[in-house]
Amino acid sequence: MNDLLTPPAADGSVDLLRIVIAPSAILKTKCRAVGAGDDDAVRALIPRMFATMYKAPGIGLAAPQVGENLRLIVVDVGPEDKRQPYALINPEVVAASDETSTREEGCLSLPNQFADITRPSVVKVRYVDQAGARREVDADGLLATCLQHEIDHLNGILFVDHLSMLKRNMIMRRLVKEQREKRDGGR
């Protein structure tokens, strides 16, 4: 991918967005495609999503995680001193390898929860970049996992939805309990 973006300034000049924590209806929603009328909204949203993701910190963020019903994701799997920011509009996985990889995944909408998830090792993702150009990326490694995780969000799918109901319920109960304790100030 060569549509490298300039990461937003870390001086607080970009307003951060509030990250939606599961369970929440927006996280279960199949998001609508970004259309021509969404240009201004998307342009405003992208730097704020990057800033919110870096601050968290995380390596990917999908629009529904900040309450926006739009097919838009931002990802950056690069190290802190060598950012690799990508914004993908209307991304879709158009090819996936038979070979799979298992990685431990987490999610900014499920703080402190992690699980091993198995997904195709290599994927081809088609998307539109910020300039409106149609692009394709062949991703492997962490980027492949991250792109699939974020595109899942646009279809209302969380990483725990790839687990057995037993494991998923265990994680969701723990999340709700931890969030309640946090809200109650640890009482």
Using the contact rule CB under 5 A, the part of the chain among 10-18, 81-89, 94-102, 103-111 near Ni ion is 103-111
For Ni ion, which is the closer residue by CB, 53 or 107? Answer: 107
Nearest-angstrom CA–CA distance, 133 and 131: 6
Using the contact rule CB under 5 A, the part of the chain among 16-24, 26-34, 48-56, 104-112 near Ni ion is 104-112
Strand partners, 93: 125
Using the contact rule CB under 5 A, the part of the chain among 49-57, 67-75, 89-97, 106-114 near Ni ion is 106-114
Which of the following is catalytic: 68, 80, 99, 150? 150
The residue from 27, 107, 123, 147 that contacts Ni ion (CB under 5 A) is: 107
Residue 122: CB atoms within 10 Å? 17
Nearest approach, Cβ of residue 27 and Ni ion (Å):
9
> Considering only CA atoms, which of 33, 27, 51 is closest in space to residue 126?
33
Per CB under 5 A, does 45 bind Ni ion? no
Nearest approach, Cβ of residue 184 and Ni ion (Å):
25
Cis omega (within 30 of 0) for bond into 47: no
Q: 36 to each of 33, 40, 53, 86, 90, how far by Cα in Å?
A: 10, 9, 25, 20, 12
Per CB under 5 A, does 75 bind Ni ion? no
